[in-house]
A and B are shown apart, each in its own frame.
Chain A
Amino acid sequence: MVDNEPGVLARVIGLFSGRGYNIDSLTVSETEHEAHVSRITIVTSGTSNVIEQIKAQLERMVPVHSVADLTVQGNAIERELALIKVTGKGEKRMESLRLADAFRARVIDATTESFVFELTGKTSKVDQFISLMQPLGLVEVSRTGIAAISRGPEGMKI
């Protein structure tokens, strides 16, 4: 949780690049408009020491309210949204639609030769859907990266 002020994302990203940490995915959006608080969800990898260090480095940044390691806390929910454009005709087109139905993807745009599917789910599910679309005329993918939240009644402290 960070103050939604100019440059705060650059600070966080700069910390990762400057200290040689990896960012696998990153999502950011204001979550509390009145309090000017944004939530940044970062997927990173490293040994437990490295993760502890990343956490400590983030916590000491002036505009950072709090840092939670959802992986260590366990029991977190992760979701990703993907928009997937597929072109094709005939049987391939029908197959892509059937698979979309099986994955509970929604058609949010259609032409006579294309679909745009909207799919939400775990990263592995999105990955799988995309790989299935590959031979059916996959054109373009846009993914949000992971948004995550802990289960249960407790909220993250600001």
Chain B
Amino acid sequence: MAGRSDEQMTGAEIILKALADQGVEHIFGYPGGAVLPIYDEIFQQEKVKHILVRHEQGATHAAEGYARSTGKPGVVLVTSGPGATNAVTGLTDALMDSIPLVCITGQVPTHLIGNDAFQECDTVGITRPCTKHNYLVKNVNDLARILHEAFYVATTGRPGPVVVDVPKDVQFAKGTYIGPGNIQHKTYRPRIKPDQNVVRAAVDLIASAKRPIFYTGGGVINSGPGASKLLREFVKMTGFPLTSTLMGLGAFPAGDKHWLGMLGMHGTYEANMAMHGCDVMINIGARFDDRITGRVDAFSPHSRKIHVDIDPSSVNKNVPVDLPVIGDCAHVLEDMIRVWKARQHQVDKPALAQWWKQIDQWRSRDSLKYKPRKDVIMPQYAIERLYALTRGKDVYITTEVGQHQMWAAQFFKFEEPNRLMTSGGLGTMGYGLPATIGVQMAHPKSLVVDIAGDASVLMTMQEMSTAVQYRLPVKIFILNNQYMGMVRQWQQLLHGNRLSESYSEALPDFVKLAEAYGAVGMRAEKPAELDDAIKAMIEINRPVIFDCRVASLANCFPMIPSGKAHNEMLLGEDVPDAEIEKAIGAEGKVLV
């Protein structure tokens, strides 16, 4: 007899069986009345390990960190009502950054739905716009199919979060389990393989380029490590320069000579100028986000644009492109390389040499330079030292959101994909600390560091308790400038230096706070003591909060002020305060 496919079990059993059959090893969650049957099943099995967070938002970010660092879907389990609403930020974050999540939410029993029952909320209604798809399971016999479908939808095509809302009576009811093998979704068929004619046209255009640039994004990382390998191969074959979005960092090694650094609002001068001046732009898995383009009508005005994306709705959304290639990055890159070889294309070497000469001139501006100081730690210096002292280690970095995030992107050199976990699209302060929990869970032996800011980190600080409970030796490296630095920077730029509510009054003593959680607290205040402190932090095999006191008024440059084009960057220290104040015009002020 082959395996029975019509096993009868309760809804809660079906959930655990489906998770196990999907290969899920870890779920992040928080119990409550409407998920108690599922927690009872968790108690009685060993295949799926549950990580108890301290707030449901933490569960979603931990699952995002897990997903982003492994390429596997992250799984979340929360209760009805506040459990579900607390998960909304993380779900939205995952939607914006295309992170595969499956979030199971408890719901009040079917007969109470719509009655304003205790801890009831319209979970599918609330999460409809912040998920890729969601389900309310009203019949236990649909449960197994829906769960397998949820994993399929979350992980294929452009990945994203999927919510499965399961009323409590459905968790108790007995129904039929079916395995993941026999599931085919009725309508959802994302396009993975590109149209070969389009690929040929794109490759011909690439070969004709005189001032080309690769502009790559998170799609390359979502496509799997194979896509990064192919990207490297294609760049090596062509010798073209490459820049990447925040979400794409690591897909191409930052140590490579073709690497121009990150582009966009806080990207390097050479990356943005090359985007502005290129004649052929090859966008692979990026989506022309407003942080990237600056003023859209002045964005790369003289280029023909190729856009490789798995999501047709990304094409022509912000920027009109000449050649959209719909497909998965790895498939498209593979086809492009094959066609390039088959058609024996050669790059225009003299033109390319001229282009590199121009780029090297831009590079020589050294747009990331900052004034080092002896008396106080510059935040950029702190990241440079963190980077230098973690060489040779297996490092994963997460960040919160703000200046420290941009400095991390500028100064920490990512060489491999899946090594940077950050909230790009939604910009969720409080992402980084819980994300380290997911990353460390997936990579127990690795060094996992959250490059944090003092304001962001307090938003989800309670997850230190989770780290301590599971003995996760995560390192929370706080660049403490006692400000919401990016808010302050914008107030300086836009609002006459009136620092409204952006000073972090009454900050806790982070060292004592760490100790209160049962973690290790450390502090560095002077550049001279930084190296030893970082080394000590790395050696400690326990969770650490590192309070790195940095220059309080440092700002993040270079910067494209909002409403400006790529060739109108502000370059750090050369900019006098007066110019900073008038850098953003009236039109730019209303932009974010």
Contact = CB atoms under 8 A, between A and B. Distances in A.
A59 B124 contact: no
Given A3-B186, A60-B313, 17 more contacts: A6-B136, A7-B124, A7-B125, A7-B128, A10-B125, A11-B128, A49-B320, A52-B316, A53-B313, A56-B313, A56-B315, A56-B317, A59-B313, A60-B157, A62-B133, A62-B185, A62-B188
Contacts of B312: 56, 59-60
Interface in A1-39: 3, 6-7, 10-11, 14, 18
Contacts of A63: 133, 187
A10 B128 contact: yes
Contacts of B129: 14, 18
A62 B153 contact: yes
Contacts of B136: 6-7
Interface in A47-98: 49, 52-53, 56-57, 59-65
A63 B337 CA distance: 35
Q: Which of A49, A59, A62 has the most CB of B within 10 A?
A: A62
Contacts of A6: 136
B523 interface: no
B463 interface: no
B187 A3 contact: yes
Nearest to A10: B128
A60 B187 contact: no
B132 interface: yes
Interface residues of A, number: 19
A6 B125 CA distance: 11
A9 to B, nearest CB: 11
Contacts of B313: 53, 56-57, 59-60
B2 to A, nearest CB: 30
B311 interface: yes
A62 B132 contact: yes
Interface string B478-489: 000000000000
A61 B188 CA distance: 8
A158 to B, nearest CB: 9
A61 B312 CA distance: 12
B124 A53 contact: no
Q: Which of A18, A60, A64 has the most CB of B within 10 A?
A: A60
B311 A62 contact: no
Contacts of B316: 49, 52-53
26 contacts: A3-B186, A6-B136, A7-B124, A7-B128, A7-B136, A10-B128, A11-B128, A14-B128, A18-B129, A49-B316, A49-B320, A52-B316, A53-B313, A53-B316, A53-B317, A56-B317, A60-B158, A60-B311, A60-B312, A60-B313, A61-B133, A62-B133, A62-B153, A62-B185, A62-B188, A63-B187
Given A53-B317, A56-B315, A59-B313, A64 B128 contact: no
B307 to A, nearest CB: 13
Q: Which of B153, B186, B187 has the most CB of A within 10 A?
A: B187
Nearest to A53: B317
Nearest to B317: A53
B376 to A, nearest CB: 46
A14 B129 CA distance: 7
A10 B125 CA distance: 8
A36 B187 CA distance: 12
A61 B136 CA distance: 16
B73 to A, nearest CB: 16
A64 B187 contact: yes
Interface string B104-127: 000000000000000000001100
Contacts of A7: 124-125, 128, 136
A40 to B, nearest CB: 14
Nearest to B134: A7
Nearest to A1: B187
B533 to A, nearest CB: 47
Kindly list the 8 A-B residue pairs having the minimum CB-CB distance in the complex, ordered from nearest: A56-B313, A62-B133, A56-B312, A57-B313, A62-B188, A65-B187, A18-B129, A60-B313
A10 B315 CA distance: 25
Interface string B58-98: 00000000000000000000000000000000000000000
A99 B37 CA distance: 67
Nearest to B157: A60
A88 to B, nearest CB: 44
A97 B375 CA distance: 93
Nearest to A57: B313
Contacts of A52: 316
A47 B207 CA distance: 34
Contacts of B132: 62
A49 B313 CA distance: 11
A14 B320 CA distance: 25
